[in-house]
Structure 1
Amino acid sequence: MGVTCVCQVPVAEGKSVQQTVDMVHKKLEQLGAVKQGSFCVDCETYHATGTVSGQPSKLLYVMHNSETPLSCLALFENGPCLVADANFDVLMVKLKSHFQNAKGHKVECRGSRYRYCDFLIKVGTVTMSSSARGISVEVRAYCQ
């Protein structure tokens, strides 16, 4: 288990999200980083259909990561986190009377993975409803 840091990268002034991502890729390659493929992380938001004791319903976030394709994460707002089988989505469909998918709130981060010395670097474009919203960079100490 290594140390991981995820940060948001500002879009360069006068540039688009994609142009800024391309600039980051170019800088990594100039440093000697080697491209090792791609990744995708997505998050779907659900809200509880009923209320409990007059309290507003909490949100449930279901996340998938291409690096762990056989599992997913389910996180309650300000609550517990569950690591589940990838078929958890099927369960969410069966629970549609209790949880509704918040349409238009799917967030996705797609991009490229690089290896540089002892680090794994992932640069991704964050999108919501097919619209680019930002850039994410994850740097992780590489452990084998």
Structure 2
Amino acid sequence: MGVAVLQSYPVPSDKTGQQVIETLTRRIMNLGASPAGQFVVDCEVYNSLPHLGQNKNLYILHNSEYPATVFSVIESQNKTVSITTDSLFDLLMLKLSTGNQYYSKKIKIESKGPRFEIKDFLVKLGSVTIGGTVKGILVEVDYLPGIIPGTCWGLLAEFMQGFLGSCVSVVPPAYIKSKATEAFSPVDTVQQYLEQFNLARKNTR
């Protein structure tokens, strides 16, 4: 899967999210990229019910790159626990959703859009929506031969700056920096999406 980096991209006040996606599509195609279908990453947010005492959030995430996998994150008092399961977990949550004594479903967030392949890179241009309303643009760039983020950040940054411009910093994002010497995994991609989804939620309050 390589090393994946998420980058938010600003939406100008005189443009729609779809217009920004179209602009970025032209840019990446001009670099020689080939269309490679569509992708979606979604997140269902559950809040713990008051009788549990401590406020806990349960996040259920799906990534179309891993259709048989369900990623779950439990968040409580600034601590998180990540769990990776198969799709049977969705059936369990579906059964629990009726009369659930622990969590209530609050919101669904997703990022979806076109995928592109260009040499050693995979690029995904995602419109982030909450309740069907576009809240921003997320660009995922995967450097497929990479394993350790610290060894390929410079190449990733240079590539992203080539079509995203100055919004890409030469300094790696905090999450990538924290994983600089560790082998990258699909959970790391999902964690980045969760961070960005939570930022989108905060900006809508």
TM-score by length of 2: 0.64
Report the Cα offset of residue 51 of structure 1.
3.9
> Partner of 1:76 in structure 2?
74
- Distance apart, 1:13 and its partner CA: 4.4
Report deviation, 1:98.
1.6
1:1-144 to 2 correspondences below 5 Å:
1-52=1-52, 54-55=53-54, 57-77=55-75, 78-95=79-96, 96-102=100-106, 105-143=107-145
Q: CA RMSD in A?
A: 1.7
Pairs aligned (count): 140
Report the alpha carbon displacement of residue 87 of structure 1 after superposing the two structures with TM.
2.0
Deviation per CA, 1:60-93, whole angstroms, max 9, x where unpaired? 0000111111111000113210001112122123
Shift of 1:43: 0.2
Give, as a single letter, the amino acid of the residue that structure 1 aligns with 2:121: F
Amino acid at match of 1:69: P
Does 129-138 or 82-91 show the bigger shift? Answer: 82-91
Structure 2: tracts of 5 or more residues without a match:
146-205
The one of the two structures with greater contact order (alpha-carbon pairs below 8 A, sep at least 6) is: 1
Q: Distance in 2 between matches of 1:124 and 1:86?
A: 23
2:84 partner amino acid: V
Identity %: 37
Distance 2:19 2:95 in 1: 42
Give me the whole-angstrom Cα distance separating, in 1, the residues matched to 2:72 and 2:51.
20
How many Å apart are 1:50 and its aligned residue?
A: 4.3
Hey, which bits of structure 1, 4+ residues long, moved more than 6 A?
none
* Structure 1 residue ranges without an equivalent (≥5): none
**TM-superposed deviation, 1:100:** 1.3
